[in-house]
Structure 1
């Protein structure tokens, strides 16, 4: 379960930002999660609820997860398409010479202080 490791990393980053900005309490943390990141949002939420109870700054805070759709570009025809629906093979020309553009990220987007 790498979700717990991700949560610990996010908490550490938020605590560092909190210290630099003299925050006393955080209400919400916004996270962008790629569709093919391999991170399970339900597990992430469960880990968050457990882990933030151990942080004075984040206790009771909410994790707001925004999904980023996975998009792939075909190097042969230059068109983009939904990765999950079509996989590695381009639905426009049939080429497998493709590259994932987005959808595997896990990014801290915002911190809302109380």
Structure 2
């Protein structure tokens, strides 16, 4: 389960930013999570709840996860389509010349602080 490591990485990064900006507490963290990012939202949420209790800066911090759909682009016909539903082969022209344009992200979108 790499979600715990991901959670620690997020918190470590935010602790550095908080220290640089004299932040007393982080009250909310919003993440963007791509549909095919390999991070499981339920595991991430559970890890967050556990880890937040262990770090004073995050004692009451709420985690919000915004899911981003996976979208693939076809170089052959120029269409985009839902990746999870159709995979690597374009449903419009059947070309395998495709690439993921969205859906693997894992970003800290915003934080609220005191």
Normalised to the residue count of structure 1, the TM-score between the two structures is 0.97
Cα distance in 2, alignment partners of residues 111 and 19 from structure 1:
14
Residues 42-98 of structure 1 show CA distances to partners (whole Å, capped at 9, x for unaligned) of 000000000111111111211100000000000111111110111100011000111
- Runs of 5+ in structure 1 lacking a partner? none
Cα distance in 1, alignment partners of residues 51 and 60 from structure 2:
10
Cα distance in 1, alignment partners of residues 22 and 110 from structure 2:
16
Cα distance in 2, alignment partners of residues 39 and 75 from structure 1:
28
Residues 16-54 of structure 1 show CA distances to partners (whole Å, capped at 9, x for unaligned) of 111111000111001000000111100000000001111
Three-state SS of the structure 2 residue aligned to 1:28 is strand
- Runs of 5+ in structure 2 lacking a partner? none
Say how many residue pairs are matched.
Answer: 114
In the alignment, which residue of structure 1 is the partner of 2:49?
49
Q: CA RMSD in A?
A: 0.7
Normalised to the residue count of structure 2, the TM-score between the two structures is 0.97
Q: How does 1:1-114 map to 2 (within 5 A)?
A: 1-114=1-114
